[in-house]
Chains A and B, each alone.
Chain A
Amino acid sequence: MHLPAILPWGAAEGFSKQMLLVLLSVAIIATFFVLAARKRQLVPGKLQFAGEAAYGFVRNGIAKDIIGGRDFIKYVPLLFSLFFFILVNNIYGAIPLIQLPTFSHVGGAYVLAGLVYFTWIAIGVKKNGLRYFKLATVPSGVPWFILPIVIPIEIISNFLVRPVTHSLRLFATMLAGHLIVMIAGSGIEFLVMQENILLKGTSVLVLAGAIAMYMLEALIMVLQAYVFTLLTAIYIEGALHADSH
């Protein structure tokens, strides 16, 4: 089911299959969109139309709707790259023979969530100055005697928990989906190996379940890419308009 690892699986050092897939995803996304965008025809061909539809989904469906204003275009490249990078790396998990979603290993999720974390803090500080930290942690319109409780909660939820949930949500869904498909696969293999013909027959039921789980997992792969990008847009929007929250 799996391609052999280039170097020992989960190697602490050296070049793993997963790293190759990450670089391959960069090549796939860059090639597709550069080819699609290169012609710049007023009446697009099929490839250009597909590229424009995909680009427009992130540009208008996420960046423009969430961030809005005139400045949203500045954040489109980050959101666009995040969405398609995560999407392609997730969908690896649904492609036979590859079947390895990159973010089923936690490192990649940490990296992307960390990038986003520092990006929105930088945007907030650039926009509001150091006052941003006050704006982000002290909600307006709250009675003074509740503030001692609210401020620590805000600090924890915004600056400590947020990057953790952002990364672990992606990692956990991918790992769980990967494990479910893998367990179903080995379960089928185990049942087929049985001598008892009736027991062997039950493998069909597991297969049906595995196919259903595979479909669900494919949906979650797309959905998590969208959720991760959407949350990034929401964080950036919150940093930009901290004084009105």
Chain B
Amino acid sequence: MNQLIISAATEGEVNPLMPNLWEMGVVLVGFLILLFIVVKFVVPMFEKTFAERAEAIEGGIAKAEKAQAEASAALEEYKQQLTDARTEANRIREEARAEGAQILADLKEKAAAESARITAQAHAQIESERQAAVVSLRSEVGTLATTLAGRIVGESLNDDDRSARVVDRFLADLETQSAGAAK
């Protein structure tokens, strides 16, 4: 340290405002090298990073907005579809109800027709059987009556033609009477 003071004292003659040219040269060259590196590499790299970052943030915001728009569009679509589906379901239900009613009516009609047909058939059958019964009754009743009358009279009423005529007339009288009563 004392040496320093001594050296400072000996250098006291030197004006501190007078520069050392070699030092000036080194500072100039050093600074220009630094400036070159900064211009060439440091500033472009930092600026690029900043630009990319800004772009990434803005791009992210744009992307989020787009996603939001898409989501709301999809929601609208789903709502629309839901409404459509509801309308469709209602329509189908109404149709089914109408169709069911139609089917029921048809069936009822068919059943009525069938029952009418069966009834008519039964009527016809009954009528024909009654007719047959009447015919057979007519002959049997005639025979029985003549036999019974023969026994009561004691002689045979063998004159079949005559007896048959009497019986027929009697029965015809009966029929006209019952028919008149029926009326």
Contacts and interface: CB of A to CB of B under 8 A. Distances in A.
Partners in one complex: yes
Interface of A: 1-2, 9-16, 18-19, 22-23, 25-26, 29-30, 33-34, 37-38, 40-42, 44, 48, 51-52, 55, 59, 73, 76-78, 80-81, 84-85, 102, 105-108, 110-112, 115, 168, 175, 182, 185-186, 189
Contact of B11 (A10, A34, A38, A81): A10
B4 interface: yes
B43 A18 contact: no
Contacts of B21: 107
A19 B5 CA distance: 22
Question: Sorted from nearest, which 3 A-B pairs have the closest CB atoms?
Answer: A107-B19, A37-B45, A108-B27
Interface of B: 1-2, 4-5, 7, 11, 14, 16-24, 26-28, 30-31, 33-35, 37-39, 41-43, 45-49, 52-53, 56
Contact of B26 (A19, A48, A85, A186): A19
Contacts of A23: 26, 30
A37 B2 CA distance: 46
A52 B27 contact: no
Contacts of A77: 35, 38-39, 42-43
A18 B23 contact: yes
A183 B113 CA distance: 135
Chain B interface helix/strand/loop/mixed: helix
B49 A40 contact: yes
A129 B17 CA distance: 34
A78 B20 contact: no
A81 B1 contact: no
A13 B18 contact: no
A106 B34 contact: no
A55 B46 contact: yes
B53 A42 contact: yes
Given A26-B30, A80-B38, 8 more contacts: A10-B20, A16-B22, A34-B45, A108-B23, A110-B19, A111-B24, A112-B31, A168-B17
Contact of A34 (B14, B31, B37): B37
B42 A19 contact: no
Nearest to B21: A107
Given A19-B22, A105-B23, A112-B27, A85 B34 contact: yes
A73 B46 CA distance: 12
A10 B14 contact: yes
Contacts of B2: 186
A37 B30 contact: no
A52 B49 contact: yes
Nearest to B49: A40
B22 A12 contact: yes
Nearest to B31: A85
B27 A51 contact: no
A37 B45 CA distance: 6
B34 A9 contact: no
Contact of A30 (B18, B19, B37): B37
A107 B24 contact: yes
